[in-house]
Amino acid sequence: MPFDFAPLLNPKLPPAAGKFGGFPKYNFVGGHNDGSSIPVQTLADAVSRALLREGDTLATYGMQSGPQGYRPLREAVAQILERRAGMKTDPDEVLITGGSLQAMDLVNNALLEPGDTVIIEEACYGGAMTKLKKLGVDWVGVPVDGDGMRMDALAETLDSLKAAGKRVKFIYTIPTVQNPTGTVLSLPRRHEMLKLAEKHGIAIFEDDCYCDLIFDGPYADQRPPAIRALDDSGRVVYCGSFSKSIAPALRVGYVVADWPVLSRILAQKSDGGTGAVEQLLLAEFAQDFDAHVGNLNKVLKGKADALVEALEAEFGTAAEFTRPTGGIFLWVTLPQEVDTTRLAQVAAAEGVAVNPGAEWSADPESGKRRIRICFAHPPAETIREGMARLAEICHREFGVPARGRNVERS
């Protein structure tokens, strides 16, 4: 008789996972990237060279670099951050993690308790909210405009939370190509955010995972300095990742913070270290990083253009959005009558996957006319076909858009 695990299970478990059935044909969700842009030959050469040179160190946990991660990779991260984000970084203030998801878990666990409150952007990475919910932590969303999080609204929010006796621990922000809005926080606002954090005695958790993917607009040649680069108090805990700039299946991210707090973050990392071969590979590949990112951004711009063209053709004025200048996603507002949670469900059943806005909004109600469309993975032709399908489904379910490709829909 088969053993029944049900009576033994922890009652707080999430529901059972489903079996993987492959990606949908029109896959506009998740942080997947462009397959043909993976620098396969350079990566293969880099990892092979590094292994032949020092592969015998794989015999030790941490490759003789200790629990913070392979030291040459920490040095490479420090150089990339100094060069690209204007952030002077000591390799001893870098902790290599298993992607930025682990970074986020470690930072959250270090600073948060049930009942705490954090500030987030009004439209926000869904995974961040899922993690906060699991920890019993509340969030308050602050509106975003074309220059990123609005500082007048942040000031008001912090004041009113203080008046209500709420304990705010930190501002969680994605300032450089915000997920999902694609906005970049302006330099003056970066300074303002630091001042407001100082006034309220709170920290800032700066998530800079998308910062290397800027292909258009005023920041295409030079991004603004990281918030952590502008701070001299040490209140900013910074995290980044190679998932977006090189490949998501590489599970390597990093936390940068001053030692007094990094030592508390590190103390919780009990996984025996981050994968050594990926660390060797990335440290060796670092010399090619800027050139690779330059090529990738050209490809992403082409796909962003294809998406914009397809949305304009298929949805016309029914789809409102700002032309993307970076990142891998577009945040689209549809007409009042569209419930995007239902749209996403129906579309998924027909092979078109998009993120419903409610799951990417601090206040789900405010997201229900919105969808997030990830454009980095599908080829341009698939983007065009997928948007045509999505417009058809939206018209069938909600009566909009009324016209597509200049033809009245029946």
Interaction residues for its own copies, span 28-87 (CB under 8 A): 30-38, 40-41, 43-45, 47-48, 51-52, 55-68
Give, rounded to a whole angstrom, the gap between the first and last alpha carbons of the chain.
Answer: 57
CB 332 within 8 A of CB 319: yes
Q: How far apart are CA 404 and CA 111, in angstroms?
A: 50
Q: Which of these, 116, 293, 146, lies nearest to 213 by C-alpha position?
A: 293
Q: Least Å distance between CB 125 and its own copies?
A: 13
CB 65 within 8 A of CB 71: yes
Query: Which lies closer to its own copies via its Cβ, residue 374 or residue 387?
Result: 374
Contact segment (CB under 8 A) with its own copies among 15-23, 174-182, 305-313, 381-389 equals 15-23
Q: For residue 132, with 0-12 CB atoms within 10 Å meaning exposed, 13-18 middle and 19 or more buried, which class applies?
A: buried
Does 407 participate in binding its own copies (rule CB under 8 A)? no
Q: Which two tokens stand for residue 272?
A: 């025996």
Q: How far is CA 263 from CA 95, 141, 226, 248, in A?
A: 10, 29, 22, 27
Does 170 participate in binding its own copies (rule CB under 8 A)? yes
Beta strand 168-173 pairing with 148-149? unpaired
- Of the candidate residues 180, 224, 273, 404, the single one contacting its own copies (CB under 8 A): 273
Q: Least Å distance between CB 409 and its own copies?
A: 33
Q: Least Å distance between CB 19 and its own copies?
A: 7
- The interface with its own copies within residues 306-365 (CB under 8 A) comprises none
Does 201 participate in binding its own copies (rule CB under 8 A)? yes
Contact segment (CB under 8 A) with its own copies among 76-84, 148-156, 263-271, 389-397 equals 263-271
Q: Which two tokens stand for residue 247?
A: 């490949």
- The interface with its own copies within residues 364-383 (CB under 8 A) comprises 377
Q: Least Å distance between CB 350 and its own copies?
A: 21
Query: Which lies closer to its own copies via its Cβ, residue 247 or residue 343?
Result: 247
Angle subtended at Cα 269 by Cα 266 and Cα 273, rounded to the nearest 5 degrees: 105
- Of the candidate residues 147, 216, 258, 320, the single one contacting its own copies (CB under 8 A): 258
- Of the candidate residues 261, 307, 311, 373, the single one contacting its own copies (CB under 8 A): 261
Q: Which two tokens stand for residue 331?
A: 């945040």
Q: For residue 294, with 0-12 CB atoms within 10 Å meaning exposed, 13-18 middle and 19 or more buried, which class applies?
A: exposed
Contact segment (CB under 8 A) with its own copies among 104-112, 208-216, 335-343, 381-389 equals 104-112
Q: Least Å distance between CB 151 and its own copies?
A: 20
- The interface with its own copies within residues 234-253 (CB under 8 A) comprises 234-235, 243, 247-252
- Of the candidate residues 81, 255, 266, 334, the single one contacting its own copies (CB under 8 A): 266
Does 169 participate in binding its own copies (rule CB under 8 A)? yes
Q: How far is CA 217 from CA 150, 177, 182, 223, in A?
A: 20, 12, 12, 10
Contact segment (CB under 8 A) with its own copies among 83-91, 146-154, 198-206, 310-318 equals 198-206
Query: Which lies closer to its own copies via its Cβ, residue 298 or residue 396?
Result: 298
Main-chain dihedrals φ then ψ at residue 20, nearest 5 degrees: -70, 125
Query: Which lies closer to its own copies via its Cβ, residue 108 or residue 183?
Result: 108
CB 219 within 8 A of CB 325: yes
Query: Which lies closer to its own copies via its Cβ, residue 19 or residue 381?
Result: 19
Q: How far apart are CA 20 and CA 23, in angstroms?
A: 8
Q: What is the DSSP letter of 363?
A: S
